[in-house]
Structure 1
């Protein structure tokens, strides 16, 4: 399965050990200061995007010496650096895009990054935002299988659209059967799998799933 891992410039203390996500079929992409984060983790990025206005001259030389394919943009533009990197990644049509370094710091950036997940819903590529405490994904109607993860055992479902119809949870501590969920509902916050595998399904709307640890 081909993956593209994108590392943005969020706080380093919220980024998990990136070497845990290395695989032969993985392409690594740095976004602005996230490129430095990759180099510090011992990972040479295949591509790097940004205006690079948040790095030092020494860090810029580090990036240029590593010789990734650099995509340099003006600071004033209509898209964020992450948005531009995601355009490139989606054009490659990978099976999975995993994005790191997008939590913490400015709330407007984080909320905008959550909405970027919607672009993956409309493609064949799955997308996931990852930090030390959370995995965040967005889903269109269908049925999905989940494996238990003791490291991130809490699972929450949050409507992204005004309505989510017939949400059914099987194998969960708090099961549901064809439940109607509306925007603003907290009914599905902090659930857990009680078996090694569970499923969730719904027939209408867009749903955010967050898998978390305390």
Structure 2
């Protein structure tokens, strides 16, 4: 089951948003992310959060159309984490998160951590905006893109030993660490690449 979660960060362009809505079985506005649904004329199934960043009048206009899942302002979880919980509890095993980049850097960093959080709950979460798609992987996995497309491989933890085939810069058991930035701005040589990593790595694919 596919779920679309939309936070209140940088709004995606219409094409990306409407494609994501069309592909989703469940749509969730995360607090102020409701404005993005309003902008594109779509009603979400759920609105999740403490409602501190959504206009009160806008929220009221959706009260009879969407299910509100409200949380107290003083809580341990972020609104986006609560939305991930709701999606998984309702059966989602694939989650696309939009509106999670731009704006506050602390929100971006915490949203990146949710890729692992969702994985621990049995769901694959991908973050996307108009510029990039970000996913989390470990082990041996396939990547698909276009020749010349930029891709970065960034360790989530202290280090990851990575081998990559099908990229311009060869990686043969290269040790990527979080102490020195490497693995940034590699390039697809063909449409299919194979990556091996002994620990979790963020895969960031540029769309341009």
Q: TM-score, normalised by structure 2?
A: 0.90
Residue 191 of structure 1 is matched in structure 2 by 186
Change beyond 3 A, Cα 1:205–1:15: farther
Which residues of structure 1 form unaligned runs of 5+? Answer: none
CA distance in 1 between counterparts of 2:20 and 2:146 reads 16
Residue 100 of structure 1 is matched in structure 2 by 98
Corresponding residue to 2:149 among 149, 153, 158: 153
CA distance in 1 between counterparts of 2:196 and 2:14 reads 30
CA drift of 1:168 comes to: 1.2
CA drift of 1:187 comes to: 2.3
User: Is 1:143–2:140 an aligned residue pair?
Assistant: yes
SS in 1 for 2:82: helix
Once superposed, which parts of structure 1, at least 4 consecutive aligned residues long, lie more than 4 Å away?
13-16
Residue 70 of structure 1 is matched in structure 2 by 68
Change beyond 3 A, Cα 1:148–1:11: closer
SS in 1 for 2:61: helix
Which residues of structure 2 form unaligned runs of 5+? Answer: none
C-alpha RMSD over aligned residues: 2.2
Residue 23 of structure 1 is matched in structure 2 by 22
Corresponding residue to 1:84 among 82, 85, 91: 82
Residue 172 of structure 1 is matched in structure 2 by 167
CA drift of 1:156 comes to: 0.2
Q: TM-score, normalised by structure 1?
A: 0.87
CA drift of 1:123 comes to: 4.0
